[in-house]
Amino acid sequence: MTTPKFVDSHPLDEIIRADRMPHIWCPGCGIGIAMRAYAAAILESDIPIDQHVVVSGIGCSGRVAGYMDIDSYHTTHGRAIPFATGIKLANPSLMVTIFSGDGDLAAIGGNHLIHAARRNLDVKVICINNFNYGMTGGQVGPTTPYGARGTTAPYGSPELPFNLPSLVAAAGANYVSRWTTLHVRQLKLDILASFTRPGFNFIEVLSPCPIGFGKSNRIKDGLEETELYRERCVLVDNGKVVALDVLGIDLREDKPIFIGEFVNRDRPPYAPIQLEGKS
């Protein structure tokens, strides 16, 4: 069977593995929007494409590594950050980006996340946060709001969630921001800027998961969740200190969702001890 071809070329052909399309993501999912922002940022960056490396863990967001036409590593659940640590330290000239989801990075990989942030490892993290485990069908996870439902919390989640920007900021990262899949231009510019910001850069991207999170929590489709973003998102003043405890999110409540740049500081990035050249 040959796939019908509707267009001769696409602006991202240079960097997407078109032979792997169609992708696995559901209608209304935001991961593709975030991947597109990442791809566009790579094309606009001054760093040659072949110096970009993407590392993913497991889950829907983890499939990004398989679609990017750069050196790409789809690793084990939770271990994208330590795998990327090895790549970056073995070849510091590479621009290493970790693209994965909230469950992968903050639950099973949570220890690696906080320690890479503590070290201020010079890698970039794009963390899709859709408040649940999408790939396995909508289970609650470390970011699921208290009381929200999932297939493993039919009576509502009895647990308090992580507030990821607060967590990563407290752990020591140089840069922490949040966007949504509505904020495509800001997201692309932020990813592009992250390539020249040293140290651990953590960009949280809120993304609809209508099949996983939405269906259990009365958000009927991706568009409706995107509409919630449009109504409630409040851009923080860059550089202005934000009280990190107000960054928690519960889509079911009519409260502001703060987005933008939360932390931007200049701690020294991790560098292995090198004695050569010293006297």
Residues that bind another protein (CB under 8 A): 17, 19-20, 50-51, 53, 55, 65-66, 69-76, 78-79, 81-91, 93-94, 111-112, 115, 272-276, 278-279
What are the beta bridge partners of residue 55?
Answer: 73, 98
Token pair of 246 as six digits:
């107000």
Which is nearer to another protein, 112 or 183 (by Cβ)? 112
For the bound state, the minimum distance from the C-beta of residue 161 to another protein, rounded and expressed in Å, comes to: 22
Strand-pair partners of 204 = 127, 178
**CA–CA separation, 247 vs 256, rounded Å?**
9
Name the token pair of 212: 């996983």
Dihedral over Cα of 187, 191, 194, 196: its sign:
negative
Place of tokens 């904020």: 183
Smallest gap from Cβ 51 to another protein, in A, equals: 6
Q: Shortest gap between Cβ of 187 and another protein (angstroms)?
A: 24
Which tokens go with 58? 């497991």
The position carrying tokens 């050569």 is 276
Nearest-approach distance from CB 247 to another protein, in angstroms: 25
- Between 110 and 147, whose beta carbon lies closer to another protein? 110
Cα 35-194-72 angle, rounded to 5 deg: 45
Shortest Å distance, C-beta 135 to another protein: 12
